[in-house]
């Protein structure tokens, strides 16, 4: 069932540019492009949260860091995507590696709090960078340039680039989860002490997973900055971290495709509710509570009729 | 001149500190006893401020509005507890974070609807408006001193409640071992509802008192909420004493950092570099402190005994 849903969703996403051009509604390219970018961010969070039990409440930090890497380089006149994107991903990986050394020493509620603390630090760092927009954020005048290989200013090409990257991230995370590495990660989630007892240095595995997750979210950040042609502190506001969390849980943490479903549902729902009424949050809030209280496996769990495992972190 | 500034900033820091304490007291007990992360605690702060602003419009009296706002916040808190939070106690932290962030969305928008899109202002009555000369030549707003006094009085009251009464004994016992307490025949559910109500009222009081200083608008509770989390993590989850000390510490560090960090750093680096880096470091300071505390003393500085 999960496989069928995944394939259906991906086919639908692939068809969006075609439909958008038929109905002459280029806006939907933007909307669904954003859906896929957040799907990548949610996949990265699911990697550590769904399989590693690490509930990060500061994942938007990577989204922002990746975006600012692109924005700052663009402002300094370096437009080449071949420089911008590796730097965005690399800086996120480095930030994840360094903060991971600290945050992974804690667990449970403390893990939630300390990831939040690091995200807040970055938030205030970028807020006070007056040179790069400060509070107001940074407008990116030119999208990343890939030397004629692909033109990001063309809506459909950019869309398919995001689509391809989404597929790649899905593939990577599916492969990782089923590998020995993923087994250790899932084992550490179920019972860390036992994993250590049978000889796995779980800390290293978790650190590696945290770093991969950060890097992947950094990619999403670079994409988001390019799409919005803007990056600002709001991208790494703590409520954004909350939104990514919601997407993962909404979709269901049990499977690889859950985050994609979750991101699509959350963004499309808030878009249509916002279209319906200015006060969409007053519907979205209670809806969220209902999902948490009654649909514990998320959408994936509802679809496949099984309860996804949501062990205490 | 510098000494004057120092005194003024110390008072500002204290004022932020007691405000944070009002928020953290409820948060730390809820977290400590029922192991519940309640992000919507900031919404209660906001509800308090909104209630005060609306009641002020109706009654015309600040004191009356403030006094009415407290039971109103208590009521809202109890409704939240009974309708949503009760189901969440047995859930993991992730579910709690999500459901309570749903509450935030709801309350932000609901108060937006009730209070209008414009920020509301709480006008102080004449007898609270004046300035006081703490030391000759430096006027300081009277209201801020009142805030500090009320905050300290509430802290004292809470201290007496927690250390001197039977209820307080149960609260302390709940914070150190909930299972044992309920095995001894105490109705922990009821105790918790009471504690949650108390916490809600304190958060409401914080909101009422913050109202005249900041503008009353939707989302105003969120920054305070994050700071309150920093406070309870540093102070040790479940400990009122820890929350008090950490709240004052955070209030002072944050205020002092913002006021003096740039100048302090100017002593060791060039003026311009200090002026740019100072404010940045200052706003990150408390989060650095939190990360440091979590790293070296994950249980916090003053954890409740028996953990």
Tell me the per-residue pLDDT of B35-52, one tens digit each, with 9 for 90 and over.
Answer: 888 888 999 999 999 999
Q: Which of A204-218, B96-110, B159-173 has the highest mean pLDDT?
A: A204-218
Looking at residues A114-118, what average pLDDT do you find?
A: 88
Q: What is the DSSP letter of A154?
A: S
pLDDT computed for residue A306 by the predictor: 52
The answer as to whether A131 is a domain residue is yes
The CA distance from B85 to B99, in Å, is: 8
The answer as to whether A311 is a domain residue is no
Which among A102, A105, A128 is the nearest to B283, CB-wise?
A128
Name which of B268, B286, B100 is nearest B196 in CA terms: B100
Looking at residues B280-296, what average pLDDT do you find?
A: 84
Handedness of CA B98, B104, B107, B109 (dihedral sign): negative
B37–A109 CB contact, under 8 Å = yes
Looking at residues A167-180, what average pLDDT do you find?
A: 92
Give the residue from B37, B98, B108, B296 with the most A CB atoms within 10 Å of its CB, the best one to mutate: B98
B94–A49 CB contact, under 8 Å = yes
pLDDT computed for residue B306 by the predictor: 56
The answer as to whether A51 is a domain residue is yes
pLDDT computed for residue A85 by the predictor: 92
Give the residue from B34, B84, B87, B105 with the most A CB atoms within 10 Å of its CB, the best one to mutate: B105
Average pLDDT over chain B reads: 85
The CA distance from B207 to B248, in Å, is: 17
Which among A55, A129, A284 is the nearest to B93, CB-wise?
A55
The answer as to whether A313 is a domain residue is no
The answer as to whether A144 is a domain residue is yes
Residues comprising chain A, all counted: 313
Residues of B with CB under 8 A from a CB of A: 31, 35, 37, 39, 84, 87-88, 91-95, 97-99, 101-110, 112-113, 222, 226, 229-230, 233, 237, 276, 279-280, 283-284, 287-288, 290-291, 294-295, 298
Answer for the pair A63, A224: CB distance below 8 angstroms, yes or no.
yes
The CA distance from A256 to A170, in Å, is: 7
The answer as to whether A309 is a domain residue is no
Answer for the pair A292, B102: CB distance below 8 angstroms, yes or no.
yes
Give the residue from B81, B106, B265 with the most A CB atoms within 10 Å of its CB, the best one to mutate: B106
A105–B35 CB contact, under 8 Å = no
In this predicted structure, the answer to whether residue B171 has a pLDDT above a threshold of 90 is no
Query: For a pLDDT cut of 70, what percent of chain A falls above it?
Result: 96
Domain that holds residue A274: 2-304
Domain count, chain A: 1
The answer as to whether A310 is a domain residue is no
The CA distance from A307 to B93, in Å, is: 18
Chain A residues lying within 8 Å of B295, measured CB to CB:
102, 105
pLDDT computed for residue A310 by the predictor: 44
Q: Is A305 exposed, middle or buried (0-12, 13-18, 19+ CB in 10 A)?
A: exposed
Neighbours of A67 (CB within 10 A): 30
Q: Which of the pair, B114 or A186, is modelled with greater confidence?
A: A186
Q: How many Cα atoms are found within 13 Å in the side-chain-facing hemisphere of A20?
A: 18
Q: Which of the pair, A1 or B86, is modelled with greater confidence?
A: B86
- Return the beta strands (E) in chain A as ranges: 138-139, 230-231
Name which of A268, A246, A216, A255 is nearest A65 in CA terms: A216
The answer as to whether A225 is a domain residue is yes
Q: What is the CATH number of the domain that holds A66?
A: 1.10.3470
Q: Spell out the residues 6+ positions from residue A223 whose beta carbon is closer than 8 angstroms to its own.
A: A37, A40, A162, A165
Question: Of A29-38, B49-58, B218-227, B248-257, where does mean pLDDT reach its minimum?
Answer: B218-227
A110–B233 CB contact, under 8 Å = yes
B295–A310 CB contact, under 8 Å = no
The CA distance from A138 to A117, in Å, is: 23
pLDDT in tens, B202-253: 999 999 988 888 888 887 888 888 889 889 889 888 888 889 999 999 999 9
């Amino acid at each position: 069932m999960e496989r069928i849903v995944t394939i259906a969703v991906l086919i639908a996403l692939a068809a969006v540019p075609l439909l958008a051009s038929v109905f002459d509604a280029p806006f939907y390219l933007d909307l669904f492009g954003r859906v896929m970018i957040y799907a990548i961010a949610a996949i990265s969070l699911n990697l550590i949260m769904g399989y590693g039990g690490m509930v990060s409440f500061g994942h938007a930090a990577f989204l922002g860091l990746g975006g600012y890497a692109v924005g700052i380089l663009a402002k300094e006149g370096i437009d080449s995507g071949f420089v911008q994107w590796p730097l965005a991903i690399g800086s996120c990986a480095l930030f994840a590696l360094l903060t991971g050394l600290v945050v992974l020493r804690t667990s449970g509620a403390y893990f939630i709090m300390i990831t939040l603390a690091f995200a807040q630090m970055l938030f205030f760092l970028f807020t006070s960078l007056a040179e790069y927009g400060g509070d107001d954020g940074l407008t990116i005048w030119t999208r990343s340039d890939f030397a004629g290989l692909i033109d990001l200013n063309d809506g459909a090409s950019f869309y398919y680039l995001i689509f391809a990257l989404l597929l790649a991230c899905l593939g990577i995370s599916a492969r990782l989860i089923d590998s020995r590495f993923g087994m250790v990660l899932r084992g550490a989630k179920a019972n860390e002490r036992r994993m250590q007892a049978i000889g796995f240095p779980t800390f290293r595995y978790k650190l590696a997973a945290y770093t991969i997750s950060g890097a992947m979210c950094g990619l999403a950040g670079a994409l988001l900055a390019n799409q919005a042609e803007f990056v600002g502190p709001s991208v790494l506001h703590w409520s954004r971290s909350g939104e990514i969390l919601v997407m993962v849980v909404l979709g269901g943490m049990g499977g690889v495709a859950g985050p994609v479903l979750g991101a699509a549902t959350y963004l499309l729902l808030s878009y249509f509710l916002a279209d319906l009424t200015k006060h969409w949050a007053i519907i979205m809030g209670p809806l969220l509570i209902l999902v948490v209280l009654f649909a514990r496996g998320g959408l994936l769990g509802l679809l496949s009729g099984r309860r996804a495992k949501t062990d205490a972190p | 001149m510098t000494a004057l500034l120092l005194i003024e900033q110390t008072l500002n820091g204290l004022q932020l500190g007691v405000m944070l304490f009002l928020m953290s007291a409820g948060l730390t007990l809820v977290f400590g006893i029922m192991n519940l992360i309640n992000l919507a605690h900031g919404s209660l702060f906001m509800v308090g401020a909104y209630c005060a602003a609306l009641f002020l419009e109706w009654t015309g009296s600040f004191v009356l509005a403030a006094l009415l706002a407290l039971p109103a916040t208590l009521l809202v808190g109890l409704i939240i507890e009974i309708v949503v939070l009760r189901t969440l106690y047995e859930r993991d932290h992730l579910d709690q974070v999500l459901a309570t962030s749903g509450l935030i969305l709801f309350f932000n928008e609901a108060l937006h609807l009730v209070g209008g899109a414009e920020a509301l202002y709480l006008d102080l009555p004449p007898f609270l408006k004046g300035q006081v000369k703490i030391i000759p030549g430096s006027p300081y707003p009277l209201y801020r001193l009142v805030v500090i006094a009320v905050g300290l009085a509430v802290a004292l009251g809470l201290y007496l409640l927690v250390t001197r009464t039977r209820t307080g004994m149960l609260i302390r016992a709940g914070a150190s071992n909930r299972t044992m307490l309920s095995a001894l025949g105490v109705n922990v559910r009821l105790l918790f509802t009471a504690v949650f109500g108390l916490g809600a009222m304190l958060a409401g009081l914080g909101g009422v008192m913050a109202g005249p200083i900041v503008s009353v608008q939707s989302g105003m509770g969120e920054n305070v909420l994050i700071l309150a989390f920093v406070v309870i993590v540093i102070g040790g989850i479940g400990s009122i004493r820890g929350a008090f000390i950490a709240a004052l510490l955070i209030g002072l560090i944050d205020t002092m950092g913002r006021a003096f960090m740039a100048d302090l750093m100017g002593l060791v680096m060039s003026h311009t570099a200090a002026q740019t880096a100072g404010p940045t470091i200052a706003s990150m300071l408390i989060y650095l402190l939190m990360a440091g505390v979590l790293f070296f003393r994950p249980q916090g500085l003053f954890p409740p005994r028996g953990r």
